Copies of this chain bind each other. A is one copy, B any other.
Amino acid sequence: MKLLIINPNTSDEMTSNIDSIAKKYARKETEIVTVHSRKGPVSIESQFEEAIIAEPLFERIIEGNQNDYDAIIIACYGDPHLYAAREISDIPVLGVAECSMHIASLLGYKFSIVTIIESTRPMLEELIKKNGLESRCASIKTTAFSPTDFEKQSDDVLKVLTEAAKDAVENDGAEVICLGCAGMAGIDKPMSEKLGVPVLDGVACAVKMAETLVDYGVTHSKVKAFSRPRKKEFKGFNNLFNNI
């Protein structure tokens, strides 16, 4: 099985971190290829950035479909353009946020998300609502971090995120913690040890779910929400899009 993981920003470090954690949890017969978008910002922490990265992300989605992959993962905890990507893909496309939230729902009555800067809260609230999991989410805990702060793992990152998670467990009713940025690779287990509750890395969750879907031989439904758009001309865009 061959999985394509797309980091939709342009950071080499983050891509490499995502690649490590994916390989750590993938089964040995699963081949992981991790790439980032060819253009765009080094991190995604606003709705504007989330929106503008669509085109280079879709290029990667189309390449994934043309190159013998079994499934694709979009590795950014906003699940940017996930439903759109499914429209132009015949193989499963998974988001790291949706995968971690659904798995969290199997491990506890309520989960909390520990994430980056406060201004991303509305984006996460919308995402939880879109997935229909409002009643399972205890809280969103924001911190002062930017995604690029996770490129080099520091003790400070672990300390601050663990404190935020502890607050969620003690005061908001959280029983499981979802790490709310694809760049937080590698802190799931140390944090879980400190907290005594499961801590989920979105990339790890998505890799396992991709293996599940491929093993089971299912892909997303193509009859309504994810049905393929009619062919049309995309004036001024990469020629690729004219032939989907």
A-side residues, CB < 8 A to B, are 10, 25, 27, 38-43, 45-52, 54-56, 58, 81, 83-85, 87-88, 92, 94, 98-99, 102-103, 105-110, 118-119, 121-122, 126, 129-136, 146, 169, 173, 175-176, 189, 192, 196-198, 200, 204-205, 208-209, 211-213, 215-227, 229-230, 232-237, 241, 244
Contact = CB atoms under 8 A, between A and B. Distances in A.
Contacts of A107: 92, 213, 218-221
Given A51-B54, A130-B126, A218-B200, A98 B106 contact: yes
Most B CB within 10 A of own CB, among A118, A132, A230, A236: A132
A241 B58 contact: no
Contacts of A25: 215-216
A221 B106 CA distance: 9
